[in-house]
Amino acid sequence: MKELLKQAEINDVVYVDDIRELRGIQGLTSKRLCIIKTDFRDINKIKKFCKSHGNLEVWLASEEISRKNILKANLCGIRNVIEYPIHQNLISDLIKEKKLEIEEEKNFKNHISLKGLKVMIVDDNPFNTQLLEETLSALELNLVTCQKPLEAARIVQEEEFDLFLLDIMMPELSGFDLAEIIRSSDKNANTPLMFVSALSDTENKIKSFDYGSYAYIEKPFDIKVVRAQICTLLKTNNERKELEKQKEKYWAMVTHDMKGPVYAEVSALEFVLNQYGKSLDDVQKEILQDILSSTKYLKNLVNNVLMKYKDDNGNLVIKKELHSFKKLIKECQNEVKYIAAEKNQIITVDYDAEADEFFFDLAEIKRVINNLLTNSLKYGTKDSEISIIISEDDDYIIFAISNTGIGVTLKDPNEVFEKFTSYSEEHRSINTGLGLYIAKQIIVAHGGQITINSIPNKTTTLTFTLPKIMNA
């Protein structure tokens, strides 16, 4: 047996004729399987060995196979008892299986991306926690183990986790009690949990699902099965969290763009009050002040807006229809005129293109143009000109807007199209950094491109293209 394993270059499988031989073997912690020849009189020694090497799969080879001896092996956590002398076919199958396992392990590490996910293991038996740790070691998870459920109950109130693995029978608190605490916590109310227990009765299995368990694993467990279950659950939960992030991203976009037009209305009202306030009577002033106050309040009510921006995969959804591009630009120019008036800025438009009507999402492109106009006015200097030039080539309408001002002071100007990035560090605190990020999402969804060209403290030009395709 030893010679055959050596010939097959299976270095992570150990075979011994007597358990005492294991004392002289180095590097047992790196081995995958240990086969021990036994007559079961040494079962206590084998049990002790299994306890101290929880990561090592153990098989027993014996001439004394009986129901009683198999039960003894199972109580040690050993599931495989094979007949001695070991059949040649079994050795061949074992060699094939171990080679396959090695290959699967490589693929497993390459394809599973769960690194850093936080998992808590709660079991009062240190042998069980160690076994689970070793089972999950290849996943590079952030593992937190607790042998005291009361301590675990304290931690779950303070830290967020991606998965809980809970024993049921524990002192101080049962696994069910701890599950109830987890479900009532602010940070982990939706975190999936699994019970790992020696209890095999139907009642406890059903009860575990009543407490929100996603799986019930019986001890002793198959390492491969448990790892596969945990991987699947972690991947599913990770995907759920990504969808939640997409939702947050969506609402950030909505919030940003709701503030744009409302800001224009606020500016218009403030302009009227500043320019004509002296000629208004008290009642008129009061009415305008009330309108101004209500308009400002609208900024905080963005969650009442129904939008259509995200599909199930978190992608931007656009609806192309035939619209006049020239008319849209005029509308956008008119909507920001009060903002321009605050700094005595002038917006000029040069529509140097024959194409006017083509297919695009009117609401979405309006968002882009308003964002670009607002940015140009905000970062442009007082008494300056904001220049809009529309041109075309064979396939695209080209929109370019330029201003004179601080420009982009970032090392890489294209960073302005990333989320939560502002033109410059000095404006970061007063800007959400979402406008250009949103613009890029919309333009790309239309099949166009958006770019920036900036000379700090001189000029900045933002340009986007839209396909002139005469169909949706």
Distance CA 252, CA 244 (A): 12
* Pairwise pLDDT comparison (418 vs 123), residue with the higher score: 123
pLDDT band at 411 (very low <50, low <70, confident <90, very high): low
Please give the Cα distance from 150 to 173 (Å, whole number).
7
Six token digits for residue 163? 């998965």
Pick the CATH number of 112-221 from 3.50.50.60, 3.40.50.2300, 3.40.50.1100, 3.40.250.10: 3.40.50.2300
Rounded CA gap, 422 and 429, in Å? 9
Of 337-351, 368-382, 417-431, minimum mean pLDDT range: 417-431
Q: Which residue has the tokens 């001002």?
A: 405
What's the pLDDT score for residue 105?
Answer: 55
Bridge pairing between strands 163-166 and 193-197: parallel
Establish how many alpha carbons lie within 13 A of residue 172's alpha carbon, considering only the half-sphere containing its beta carbon.
13
Is the pLDDT at 429 greater than 70, yes or no? no
Task: Supply the pLDDT for residue 79.
Answer: 74
Q: What is the pLDDT of residue 95?
A: 64
Domains 2-109 and 112-221 share a fold: yes
Neighbouring-strand partners of residue 168: none
The reported pLDDT for the residue numbered 430 is: 38
pLDDT of res. 451: 92
Rounded Cα–Cα distance for residues 249 and 314 (Å):
9
Residues 274-307: tens digit of each pLDDT: 888 888 888 888 888 777 766 765 654 543 343 4
Q: What is the pLDDT of residue 393?
A: 92
10 pLDDT higher than 70: no
Residue 414 has pLDDT above 80, yes or no: no
Report residue 166's pLDDT band, with 50, 70 and 90 as the boundaries. very high
Q: What is the pLDDT of residues 132-143, one digit of tens each?
A: 887 787 777 889
Q: What is the pLDDT of residues 185-210, one digit of tens each?
A: 888 888 889 898 888 888 888 888 88
Tokens for 181?
A: 């605490």
- Per-residue pLDDT of 215-227, as tens digits, reads 888 877 777 777 7
Q: Which CATH superfamily is domain 318-467 in?
A: Histidine kinase-like ATPase, C-terminal domain (3.30.565.10)
Mean pLDDT computed over every residue of the chain: 79
Q: How confident is the model at residue 122 (pLDDT cuts 50, 70, 90)?
A: very high
| pLDDT band per the 50, 70, 90 thresholds, residue 252 | low
Phi, psi of 396 (to 5 degrees): -130, 150
Q: Which residue has the higher pLDDT, 286 or 49?
A: 49
Q: Are 460 and 407 in contact (CB under 8 A)?
A: yes
pLDDT for res 221: 72
Q: Which two tokens stand for residue 40?
A: 């079961």
CATH superfamily of 2-109: Response regulator (3.40.50.2300)
190 half-sphere exposure, CB direction, 13 A CA radius: 6
More confident residue, 111 or 408: 408
Q: What is the largest CA-CA distance in the chain?
A: 110
Domain boundaries, the chain: 2-109, 112-221, 318-467
Q: What is the pLDDT of residues 380-404, one digit of tens each?
A: 899 999 999 999 999 999 999 999 9
Give the integer Cα–Cα distance in Å for 449 and 462.
11
Identify the band that residue 409 occupies on the pLDDT scale cut at 50, 70 and 90.
low
